[in-house]
Amino acid sequence: MAEAIRMPLLSDTMKEGVIAAWHKKVGDTVKSDDVLAEVETDKATMEVTPYVEGTLLYIGVEKGQAAKVNDIIAIIGKPGEDYSALLKESGAQEQKASTPQETQPAQEQPAAQQQPAPAQPGAQQQAQPVQAQSAASQQQPAQQQSQKEQPTAGAASPQATPKPGDATVIRMPLLSDTMTEGKIVSWLKKVGDQVKSDDVLAEVETDKATMEIVPYVDGTLLHIGVEAGQSAKVNDIIAIVGKEGTDITPYLQDAGSTQPAAAAPQPGTTTGSAAAPAPATDESAGAQQQQSLAGEGERVKASPLARRIAAEKGIDIHQVKGSGDNGRIVKRDIDEYKPAAQQQAASKTAGGTSFPAAQPAVPGQEGYKDIPLSQMRKIIAQRLSESKFSAPHFYLRMTVTMDNAIEARKHINEVSPVKISFNDLIIKAAAMTLRRHPEVNSSWMGDFVRQNQHIHVGTAVAVDEGLIVPVIKFADQKSLSQIATEAGTLIEKARNKKLQPPEFTGNTFTISNLGMMDIDEFTAIINPPDSCILAVGKIAPTPVVEDGAVVVRQLLKLTLSCDHRVVDGAVGARFLQTLKAHLENPVTMLV
């Protein structure tokens, strides 16, 4: 499916951008991290990165010309793909194209096909201070704010109105199509600090990943509107950067923003019939950690998120070995860190399986712990509830004999440049099966069913905050080694919360595998907008009867959850039959 690349909103006063240069031409192959073009704004010249892969099909604005915020400046898709529907939906035919290509007439496609702008370059380069979809930021730029007379505690004065250029409002960006608010994980600057345009101002936790906020302006940090650990809705003011001494009151009043409230008690403290000592211990450990970091002469390379979690857990960050670039400590290192004494004292069963450490209990005391919802957990609750209660689920189960697949995987790994897992085999088999059963590769769109011609397979990955689904695009067109490499990279990025929006959106089918956790079988909730999800259990040696004799076979149990609005029972059954044939005889995937 073709993707529209739009002019991003890069500052609160920007209305249009001028294309300073195109780094690609129509027909060129574009990678997700390529620089597509340079855009000159009223603040600086910025690079536009598409975050999608494909062929550059269309350039809508020539070099040296301007485009309004959110106008289509380019389209990327498959070679020869018809993109006229995107232009019709946006009214982009009126723009001048840089090539003589004419848009071919195509059947009217629903407006729902158009991708939301946040997944386009408006969410590129870490996190943009303002989003193109923000109506408030478009309708109330600084020039309009200066014309409004705002009430103040005393008599209003002309000097209280904001002057263009004195300060820039930094707002909560829209970083994914499901995001409604973001949580400030940490501030890397404090009020009064000097800020450069490319400094990282703060880290924001969304429902998908942790992103960095860059102000794109130079000046002094005058105001922080949301404290660390608290949330702000998309487009709310989170900071103001400007000239030192600038009165920020008019900016806050014009935006309808309020001064930051005093920190309210946060959920997460244990409450019982008597005061429990655990919270005080955590707080003292955090204070000691801060003192240790401040007093340490040698600077430890660690991400701000890793430092914060280490402080919360009372972990001496100097004792943690980093696995990131140049030994940098990342969140995963803190999560997996175990002191030497704890490792030696880890409880084990007779079979050698380790158990998590038991939580201490206070005899005779009732208690509970309120855990604040992360952005990811909120979206999981919202979307899966909508799926479960709106999509009529039904379930099909099938048992697959995996003896041939086990043998085939052994031989494949002898020659493959990367290790092929059973999950990689299942992804490949599912993608090949979807090509034969396009009815399953479909989505319910309300008043029509969209049958996708591309196959993007999502794989559910468990992370500390919940669940995320990185997507392998065009999985049917990739080899097993390509799938294994890409899956490994995406899973690693997912666990470190470094996925970019194009890497966790666009799925047409999803696989959830709990076999590695010794689960025999389970049922999964459909992941919108898919019409099906495949739940994968463990491979287990099981006695079966063949030709009157009892033999042991390696069996795998699969459960397909189907949306009955799109997929009927017979359609789902035929899908599973083909999938079973591929897994029981992997050679068929090569044909």
93 within some domain: yes
Q: What is the full DSSP assignment across 20-74?
A: EEESS-TT-EE-TTS--EEEE-SS-EEEE---S-EEEEEE-S-TT-EEETT-EEE
Say how far apart CA 275 and CA 590 lie, in whole Å. 65
250 within some domain: no
What pLDDT sits at residue 50? 75
What pLDDT sits at residue 268? 42
What pLDDT sits at residue 546? 92
What pLDDT sits at residue 430? 97
What pLDDT sits at residue 407? 96
Task: Please list the ranges in the chain whose pLDDT falls under 50.
Answer: 92-160, 257-298, 341, 343-352
What pLDDT sits at residue 112? 38
340 within some domain: no
Per the structure, the complete domain to which residue 75 belongs is given by 3-116
**Tokens, residue 5:** 């690349």
Q: What residues are annotated to the active site?
A: 564, 568
What pLDDT sits at residue 395? 98
Q: Of all residues in the chain, what percent are helix, strand and coil, respectively (each to 5)?
A: 30, 25, 45
C-alpha dist (Å) from residue 311 to 22, 48, 288, 307: 46, 37, 8, 6
Contacts 24+ apart (CB under 8 A), 547-556: 553/401, 553/403, 554/401, 554/402, 554/403, 554/406, 555/399, 555/400, 555/401, 555/402, 556/399, 556/400, 556/401, 556/402, 556/515, 556/583
126 within some domain: no
Task: Show which of 116, 139, 174 is a domain's final residue.
Answer: 116
Number of domains present in the structure of the chain: 2
CATH number at residue 67: 2.40.50.100
CATH number at residue 520: 3.30.559.10
Q: 8-27 burial, b if ≥16 CB within 10 A, otherwise e? A: bbbbbbbeebbbeebebebe
Task: Show which of 93, 116, 139 is a domain's final residue.
Answer: 116
pTM: 0.52
- Phi, then psi, of 373 in degrees rounded to 5: -80, 130
549 within some domain: yes
394 within some domain: yes
225 within some domain: no
Q: What is the pLDDT of residues 573-586, one digit of tens each?
A: 999 999 999 999 99
What pLDDT sits at residue 294? 37
Task: Show which of 116, 140, 175 is a domain's final residue.
Answer: 116
383 within some domain: yes
